[in-house]
């Protein structure tokens, strides 16, 4: 039986094998080797231990994506604590809620957030210990903060924790239905089972250069960070500003010789449409992973035409499971295909099945909710036992299946085909309407760049459907043309009642369509 290694062991193992190899490349701020990254994380481990952080504690990260933040992740893990990353661009009140909610012992934070952080911190909750960085970039600021702290109060060397498989590794907070974020608790076993599956399936190597497009509070970052570090490759950090600017992203892809890319489809769509990829040498790229939302086929086809050499993979799974199914896109996408590709078959470290509303498994070919069990599935939501219990289907054997809320159909050859979100089904004029199907129909229009559809309550008509659209080159079709197009491509009961054009559709911090903001816009 293979011995279990926690996440932080990946770094120390790679530092022994390739000490001088670039571990993290932060454009415009520098590169750090494996030896230096391991050393910096050890210094942080010692300081956190001196501040009282122990195995089982939580430590907040209020940092911009940087070498400093990567070192912070591994330093926290080496104490046996779990890291809790915060979106530095979200309101401070949200960050404070998250970190106070999970009772952090310490926080590694940039000085620009400190004053508001302290002011917002709830007085009834003990204030965490602070490690203050002037700013972030290249690891220099974390090093400086630790050196200054060491001069004032030397922290003795502490042993790296031997974390057990079910010890918490990190907590990722996602939007909650109550309006308050909920903390998804992921263990070392959850993460390493996924990373090991990626290793077995995609065969990365030490010469690979991995994009780090996702923010660290988004679960896509788990593949980026740990797969790169496990294989002693190089993690190329992409700032939020560059990550959303196709004209900067395309040359970076070429200049940094990125070989493994992972992001949401919307980013790849923008890169394809506005990155002028044909101008750059992206021949190093060999694997493109996408996840988080449906990839419109016309955009995927266009991207593959521009970059035909990599293999493309659709990875599916909510934060609670990370990736639980996968599907490799065929080398050629037929011109006549306009339906999205399947989410595929179960990853080897989890098991999936499709159940009806009573929790009974349904035959292949019949719609139902996808549920997941296995090593990749979260422990639960932080301090929300009732919500956790509601999110699982429990068998008499004690096995728990996480209820994804996604409606799928199982196909014998292609695996699972995504149909809809349970919460995006509405009834209109007696018909069951899947809002995603309307979006797919709108995407067939050659002028449509982005489409998002919401349902509005209407006292007279019950439900009205509103479509938000952004168009290529700002060329909007007329309302008459759009209605006629919809009538040709959708059943009459699915044709949107209202249309609104926006320059671009709003996105969440994880680059998905922000439906909550659209609902506010529609109000």
pLDDT at 427: 67
Q: In which band, very low, low, confident or very high, does the pLDDT at 293 lie, cut at 50, 70 and 90?
A: confident
Q: Is 258 helix (H, G, I), strand (E, B) or coil?
A: coil
Q: Domain with 122 in it: what CATH number?
A: 3.40.50.12780
pLDDT at 449: 93
Q: How many Cβ atoms sit within 10 Å of the Cβ of residue 187? A: 23
Q: In which band, very low, low, confident or very high, does the pLDDT at 3 lie, cut at 50, 70 and 90?
A: confident
Whether 377 shows a pLDDT value over 70: the answer reads: yes
pLDDT at 431: 63
Answer whether residue 61 is part of any domain.
yes
What percent of the chain has pLDDT above 70? 96
**CA-CA distance, 135 to 153, in Å (whole number)?**
22
Residue after which a domain boundary falls, among 373, 401, 420 = 420
Whether 1 shows a pLDDT value over 50: the answer reads: no
Are 408 and 451 contained in the same domain?
A: no
Which phi and psi angles does 429 have, rounded to 5°? 55, 35
192: closest CA among 388, 404, 349? 349
Answer whether residue 512 is part of any domain.
yes
Are 450 and 403 contained in the same domain?
A: no
What percent of the chain has pLDDT above 90? 82
**CA-CA distance, 404 to 322, in Å (whole number)?**
11
State mean pLDDT over 32-60. 98
Any idea what DSSP says for residue 126?
P
Whether 177 shows a pLDDT value over 60: the answer reads: no
pLDDT at 227: 98
Residue after which a domain boundary falls, among 201, 223, 243 = 243
The parent domain of residue 472 ranges over 429-522
Are 387 and 477 contained in the same domain?
A: no
Which phi and psi angles does 262 have, rounded to 5°? -145, 125
Q: Domain with 457 in it: what CATH number?
A: 3.30.300.30
pTM of the model: 0.86
**CA-CA distance, 385 to 359, in Å (whole number)?**
20
State mean pLDDT over 193-221. 97
Are 403 and 439 contained in the same domain?
A: no
State mean pLDDT over 11-24. 98
Residue-wise pLDDT for 95-105, tens only, equals 999 999 999 99
State mean pLDDT over 4-26. 97
Describe the crossing of helices 34-50 and 7-17 by its angle, rounded to 10 degrees: 140
483: closest CA among 473, 472, 498? 498
Who wins on pLDDT, 420 or 132? 132
Answer whether residue 300 is part of any domain.
no
**CA-CA distance, 368 to 389, in Å (whole number)?**
20
Judge contact between 248 and 242, C-beta under 8 A.
Answer: yes
Are 383 and 471 contained in the same domain?
A: no
How far is CA 451 from its chain centroid?
Answer: 21
282: closest CA among 313, 250, 311? 250
Are 121 and 225 contained in the same domain?
A: yes
Whether 192 shows a pLDDT value over 70: the answer reads: yes
Q: Domain with 381 in it: what CATH number?
A: 2.30.38.10
Are 71 and 151 contained in the same domain?
A: yes
Residue-wise pLDDT for 232-245, tens only, equals 999 999 999 999 89
pLDDT at 382: 98
Answer whether residue 286 is part of any domain.
no
Whether 173 shows a pLDDT value over 90: the answer reads: yes
Residue-wise pLDDT for 451-496, tens only, equals 999 988 765 556 789 999 999 887 899 999 999 999 888 877 789 9
Are 397 and 440 contained in the same domain?
A: no
Are 463 and 367 contained in the same domain?
A: no
Mean pLDDT of all residues in the chain? 93
Any idea what DSSP says for residue 4?
P
Which phi and psi angles does 482 have, rounded to 5°? -65, -45
Q: In which band, very low, low, confident or very high, does the pLDDT at 271 lie, cut at 50, 70 and 90?
A: very high
Residue after which a domain boundary falls, among 420, 449, 478 = 420
Are 360 and 488 contained in the same domain?
A: no
Answer whether residue 142 is part of any domain.
yes
Number of domains present in the structure of the chain? 3
Q: Is 184 helix (H, G, I), strand (E, B) or coil?
A: strand
Are 228 and 92 contained in the same domain?
A: yes
Are 403 and 436 contained in the same domain?
A: no
Answer whether residue 189 is part of any domain.
yes
Q: Which neighbouring-strand residues pair with 110?
A: 133
Q: In which band, very low, low, confident or very high, does the pLDDT at 198 lie, cut at 50, 70 and 90?
A: very high
**CA-CA distance, 346 to 415, in Å (whole number)?**
8
Which phi and psi angles does 252 have, rounded to 5°? -65, -40
447: closest CA among 298, 307, 338, 266? 298
* H or E element at residue 22: strand 22-26
Answer whether residue 40 is part of any domain.
yes
Q: In which band, very low, low, confident or very high, does the pLDDT at 268 lie, cut at 50, 70 and 90?
A: very high
Answer whether residue 310 is part of any domain.
no
Q: Is 437 exposed, middle or buried (0-12, 13-18, 19+ CB in 10 A)?
A: middle
State mean pLDDT over 17-24. 98
pLDDT at 278: 95
């Amino acid at each position: 039986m293979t011995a279990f290694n926690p996440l932080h062991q990946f770094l120390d193992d790679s530092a022994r094998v390739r000490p001088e190899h670039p571990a993290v490349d932060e454009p415009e701020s520098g590169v750090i080797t494996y030896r230096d990254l391991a050393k910096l994380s050890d210094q942080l481990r010692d300081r956190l231990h001196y501040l009282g952080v122990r195995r089982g504690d939580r430590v907040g990260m209020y940092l911009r994506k940087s070498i400093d933040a990567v070192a912070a992740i591994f330093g926290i893990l080496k104490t046996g604590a779990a890291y809790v990353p915060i979106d530095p661009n979200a309101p401070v009140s949200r960050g404070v809620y998250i970190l106070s909610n999970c009772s952090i012992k310490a926080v590694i934070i940039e000085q620009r957030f400190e004053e508001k952080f302290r002011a917002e911190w709830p007085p009834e909750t003990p204030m965490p210990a602070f490690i203050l960085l002037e700013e972030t970039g290249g690891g220099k600021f974390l090093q400086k903060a630790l050196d200054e702290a060491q001069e004032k109060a030397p922290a003795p060397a502490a042993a790296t924790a031997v974390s057990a498989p079910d010890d918490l590794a990190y907590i990722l907070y996602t939007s909650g239905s109550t309006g308050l974020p909920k903390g998804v608790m992921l263990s070392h076993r959850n993460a390493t089972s996924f990373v090991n599956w990626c290793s077995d399936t995609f065969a990365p190597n030490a010469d690979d250069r991995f994009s780090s497009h996702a923010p660290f509070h988004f679960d896509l970052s788990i593949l980026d960070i740990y797969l790169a570090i496990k294989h002693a490759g190089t993690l190329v950090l992409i700032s939020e500003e560059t990550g959303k600017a196709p004209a900067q992203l395309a040359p970076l892809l070429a200049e940094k010789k990125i070989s493994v890319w992972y992001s949401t489809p919307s980013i790849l769509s923008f890169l394809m449409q506005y990155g002028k990829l044909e101008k750059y040498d992206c021949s190093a790229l060999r694997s493109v992973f996408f996840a988080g939302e449906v990839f419109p086929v016309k955009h995927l086809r266009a991207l593959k035409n521009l970059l035909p050499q990599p293999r493309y993979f659709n990875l599916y799974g909510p934060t609670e499971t990370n990736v639980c199914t996968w599907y490799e896109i065929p080398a050629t996408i037929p011109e006549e295909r306009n339906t999205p590709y399947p989410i595929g078959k179960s990853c080897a470290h989890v098991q999936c099945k499709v159940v009806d509303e009573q929790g009974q498994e349904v035959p292949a070919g019949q719609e139902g909710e996808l549920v997941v069990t296995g090593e990749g599935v979260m422990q639960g939501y932080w301090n929300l036992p009732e919500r956790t219990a509601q999110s699982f289907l429990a068998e008499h054997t004690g096995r728990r299946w996480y209820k994804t809320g996604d409606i799928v159909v199982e196909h014998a050859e292609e695996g699972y085909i995504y149909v809809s979100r349970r919460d995006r089904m509405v009834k209109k004029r007696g018909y069951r309407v899947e809002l995603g199907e309307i979006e797919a129909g709108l995407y067939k229009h050659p002028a449509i760049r982005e489409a998002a559809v919401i349902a509005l309550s209407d006292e007279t008509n019950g439900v009205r459907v509103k479509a938000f659209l952004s168009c290529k080159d700002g060329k909007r079709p007329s309302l008459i043309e759009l209605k006629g197009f919809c009538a040709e491509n959708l059943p009459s009961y699915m044709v949107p009642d209202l249309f609104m054009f926006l320059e671009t559709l709003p996105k969440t911090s994880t680059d998905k369509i922000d439906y909550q903001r659209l609902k506010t816009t529609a109000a």
